[in-house]
Amino acid sequence: MQIWHPFTQHGLNEDIIEIETSDKEFLITKDGAKIIDGISSWWVNTLGHKNPIIAKAIEDEAKKLHQIIFAGFVHKPAKCAAENLSKFLPKDYTHIFFSDSGSTSVEVALKMAVGYHYNKGQNRSKIVAMEHSYHGDTFGGMSSGARSVFNEPYTKMLFEVERIPYPKEGEEERTIKAYKKLLEKEGNKIGAIILEPLVLGSGGMFFYKPFVIDELYKLSKEYGVIFALDEVMTGFGRVGTMFAFNQTNIIPDIICLSKGLTGGSIPLAATVSTKEIYDAYLSKDKAKMFFHSSSYTANPIACAAANANLEIWQNTDVLADVKRVNDFYYTQLERFKHLPAKNVRILGDIFAFDVEKSGNDYVSNIGIKLYDYYRKNNILLRPLGNTVYVMPPYCISNESLIRVFDVIEKSLKECL
Ligand SMILES: *Cc1c(COP(=O)(O)O)cnc(C)c1O
């Protein structure tokens, strides 16, 4: 049996690299080659690979408790995870629902929001999402996400969502007005709005300003629309604050967390909600319960990893490392002035730019060419079409950062 890899066209015979071990920002092959993980292994890794504190927590919990049924039962690692996470969140968040991936945390959020209205006797099942957004590869996630070559075969099966334009710098009013218009027209049919806060990741690393979130939230409240933020990528320091919504003045009704929740060690997700949403399900009537479960809900080993991660956040200044990486990025701006790169942008741990003189298409050849070039140089970067971005684990050394940027500079001279 052969392995069928994700987002991989096996017909192109890309070689698949076998990794034997990992350490901090490095993926280490069988031959001992050290590849710098410039994209945190698809954005999950925050604290560096094989963090010893997290590894120890996993080891210890594995000796105590594996998966147990989570309906009618609970365990200490889950209770601690709820407790530990609440230390980083406003008191408004009273309930946490566990699942096992970013996509499922989004499914849960959407179902939670629509069920909230349903339990109140309202038919408000329309969802609003943003242009270029990505919310995972399950059907709810794909439906809320942008339509593209990624979900083309399934287009007819996806539910329709209302879309507001991406709030490009200087055009924020257009987005806010579009949402207002939508609400005026059919606000009583809209159940929820879901957004990737501050950065549209898979869509091409498009950034936008926090005040847009404030404005969209205000409008949502006027019309009784549940405001959900998909912090699967942005959560746990990626944008320079623990969560992206910390840069706004609002408290969303629901937030989705996953990737950085266990520091990138083991799958776990959480959908966190306010009391108001929870209360809509609270009843003596079984038909009003929240009908959702994953078999591996609140896996004790995963919860233990999350607890170790949260303890690290509690005991060390993780954001200082993000700031160090961010400061480094600013020192690199000068060299990009002389390179075929436009829209050079920085947010927290993310550095992105668009290669000039190429189409804005994921399958465009320049992305593949660059990917190969970086790989040959033992650097893992996966451009999104002509957008190259760097998003390393926060512990990356300055030496590795310099190496990454030197190779990027060379790639723009040699590959175009
Ligand atoms: C990665 C991602 C998801 C999907 O998470 P999975 O764990 O891959 O299912 C959802 N939303 C956003 C914003 C993401 O970046």
Question: Each residue of 174-201: pLDDT tens digit?
Answer: 999 999 999 999 999 999 999 999 999 9
Q: Which of 103, 208, 391, when mutated, tests ligand 1's pocket best, judged by the most ligand atoms within 8 Å of its CB? A: 103
* Sheet order of strands, 387-390 included: 341-347, 350-355, 387-390
User: Is residue 233 lining ligand 1, measured as CB closer than 6 Å?
Assistant: yes
Q: What is the pLDDT of residue 160?
A: 96
Q: Is the pTM of this model over 0.95?
A: yes
Alpha helix ranges (H) inside 223-364: 275-279, 300-315, 318-336
Looking only at the bridges linking them, the beta strands covering 206-207 and 199-200 are antiparallel
Position 358 confidence tier, pLDDT thresholds 50, 70, 90:
low
User: Is residue 232 lining ligand 1, measured as CB closer than 6 Å?
Assistant: yes
How far, in Å, from the CA of 340 to the mean position of ligand 1? 30
How far, in Å, from the CA of 121 to the mean position of ligand 1? 31
- What is the rounded average pLDDT of the residues 68-96? 98
- What is the rounded average pLDDT of the residues 324-343? 97
pLDDT over 60 (residue 10): yes
Q: Which of 107, 134, 139, 200, when mutated, tests ligand 1's pocket best, judged by the most ligand atoms within 8 Å of its CB? A: 134
pLDDT over 60 (residue 360): no
* 3-class secondary-structure state, position 112: helix
Looking only at the bridges linking them, the beta strands covering 269-274 and 93-99 are antiparallel
Position 60 confidence tier, pLDDT thresholds 50, 70, 90:
very high
User: Is residue 231 lining ligand 1, measured as CB closer than 6 Å?
Assistant: no
- What is the rounded average pLDDT of the residues 331-360? 92
The β-bridge partners of 97 are 271
User: Is residue 353 lining ligand 1, measured as CB closer than 6 Å?
Assistant: no
User: Is residue 105 lining ligand 1, measured as CB closer than 6 Å?
Assistant: no
pLDDT over 90 (residue 361): no
* 3-class secondary-structure state, position 358: coil
**Chain centre distance of CA 20:** 26
Strand positions, DSSP E, 24-132: 26-29, 34-37, 93-99, 126-130
Residue type, 279: D
How far, in Å, from the CA of 43 to the mean position of ligand 1? 9
pLDDT over 90 (residue 93): yes
pLDDT over 60 (residue 363): no
